[in-house]
Structure 1
């Protein structure tokens, strides 16, 4: 022990340095350990913070994704709930009498009634409705009442019109041939007779029906058959005992042809066949100079076609609902029109609104139509004092009324 103390005493300086170094080394080790622990704690804390941040970001993204998904689903649901309009372009034809409506709904306002085989321009489709353009107006027709107007349909219509013209020309040629043969036979008999025969009384060519005996003006409308919608129209003026042809043109009648007045019924698209008188005139345009009372069409003018109504087959100034014609909805056809006396007594279910008017795009719902030039001529030519009549017949009936 004494030796150790002596050794420390002799080497005190060295031992002090050595002890100090040990303390410093221990302090350094402790510092490193504290620093390492602190670093690890901070790393763990940062890791926790990053983890929480990532969780928040994931949660935020998930929330945003869910929100966007819900928004997309809501927009899709709205899109599905709204009817989609699909543009389509073709020429269509009505397959029966149909309502031309203001919007695609059965409760929508009716712009007009379209006759069977009315030609329209189809613009597009929305669910069960076609949007169409007819007579410069756009509206809607239920798709079950419309089909495509094909090239075959047009050819059939053109052929029918051509056949009507050929039939009228053939009838005229036959009449001229019969007249020539009659003149020839008369000359032959005169030459062979030894005794001069008394001259036969001259028969004036004209209308012989008692229904036309008090008339000096006749509008003759003939078709090739009772089922044809194509007509030949002639204006005759009587001067003294002579009936002179004033004007000739082609026109249209009901899309289903003719039906004799005694049999004709409402909503059949048939024109009444027989003799009709003229009551008055009306038009979208100003009075062109007719001698009949003339009504300038306004938007509140309707023709009541509700059978049994007190104003059945009459012009009224309010929408009666049910079955009617809104005159202002036909700006082309009703630019000028004459009102006939068909069913003036308002017999139930016989129909009404039988007019003479300007051509539309096809056959009519029962009226007689012709080109605008001839219609303007007609409405300014007919004169009440000459009791004008409209004779509507198939050509096979002509001999009953004319000789």
Structure 2
């Protein structure tokens, strides 16, 4: 999946002129390994200990059924409330099992404090509504201002390193490093392209450029942000062969 030492800079350059439009849909770093964040009572475990489960915790049948049967990695984003920006991100994994993996159990790997859209969540995301879309989405592409944190492991998401991701410096200084690392959430975008590709198959009104990205300590314009430790861990861990997805929403919507 990854060609060692090669990034899609040509593709990134092609979208430099429209980057600011893309960034409007997105919005305190930590250099640790992320383990301590699991002690905050994240869903799926109240004390950060690993738990094996048959289902992704606190996710109802509606969204649970949309998680592909062949998915072995799920990034769950548990929003605190429909109209709030506070969230928790949890990575769950499961091993392959016979019969298509339906009987495999999920294991809670790590969790991190996070933020979502500054106005909360929505089932019908629109451009500039400042809410994050509820749903299950694949994770196919990554990138950022900084280099891939582990370009040699050969199994991670395709990564585009480019200065084109740089947040404008007329934004508050706290936001300048938001896009040092990003993972595209496949909402209204074309898979297999850099995260900042502006193409929106469902139209501009449906919004786009919804990413996982670095946290600046408050709500975003629709993305999900988490600490540097979390972003770097996900980039080292998510593997296209494991068919990673994100299931995201406020607690009530997730349980529906």
| TM norm. shorter chain > 0.5 | yes
Residue in 2 that maps onto 1:210? 65
CA distance 1:328–1:292, change in 2 (3 Å): farther
1:333 aligns with 2:178: yes
Partner of 1:268: 129
Name the residue aligned to 1:284.
145
Q: 1:244 corresponds to which residue?
A: 107
Q: 1:215 to 1:332 in 2, by over 3 A?
A: same
Instruction: Indicate the RMSD between aligned Cα atoms, in angstroms.
Output: 3.0
SS in structure 2 opposite 1:379? helix
Q: Secondary structure at the match of 2:88?
A: strand
Query: Helix, strand or coil: the match of 1:349?
Result: helix
Which residue does 2:188 correspond to in 1?
343
Contact 2:25 2:209 in 1 (8 A): no
Alpha-carbon deviations, 1:335-382, whole Å to 9, x = none? 111012111224230111111011014111110000101110011110
Contact 1:226 1:394 in 2 (8 A): yes
Distance 1:398 1:361, change over 3 A: closer
Q: Deviations over 1:79-127 (max 9, x none)?
A: xxxxxxxxxxxxxxxxxxxxxxxxxxxxxxx8997799x8xxxxxxxxx
Gaps of 5+ in 2: 1-19, 28-39, 47-51, 98-103, 170-174, 190-200
Q: Evaluate the alpha carbon distance shift between residue 277 and residue 249 of structure 1 in structure 2; reply closer, same or farther with a 3 A threshold.
A: same
Instruction: Write out aligned runs for 1:2-401 (5 A).
Output: 168=42, 205-207=54-56, 209-212=64-67, 213-239=69-95, 240=97, 241-260=104-123, 263-289=124-150, 291-298=156-163, 301=164, 327=167, 331-344=176-189, 345-399=201-255
Change (3 A) 1:244 1:111: closer
SS of structure 2 residue aligned to 1:333? coil
Query: Structure 1 residues 258 and 383 mapped into 2: Cα distance closer, same or farther (>3 Å)?
Result: same
Figure out how many residues of one structure are paired with residues of the other and give that number.
186
TM-score scaled to structure 2, two decimals?
Answer: 0.64
- Asked if 1 retains the 8 angstrom alpha-carbon contact of 2:78 and 2:248, the reply is yes
Contact 2:82 2:252 in 1 (8 A): no
CA contact (8 A) 2:25 2:223 kept: no
Question: Would you tell me which structure has more strand in proportion to its own residues?
Answer: 1
**Structure with bigger RCO (C-alpha 8 Å, 6+ apart):** 2
Cα distance change on mapping 1:286 and 1:394 into 2, 3 Å: same
Deviation of the 1:204 alpha carbon: 5.2
- 1:397 is displaced (CA, Å) by 3.7
Which has more radius of gyration? 1
Task: Give the Cα separation in 2 of the matches to 1:236 and 1:360.
Answer: 24
Shift of 1:214: 2.3
**1:156-191 deviation line (CA, Å, top 9, x unaligned):** xxxxxxxxx67x57x856xxxxxxxxxxxxxxxxxx
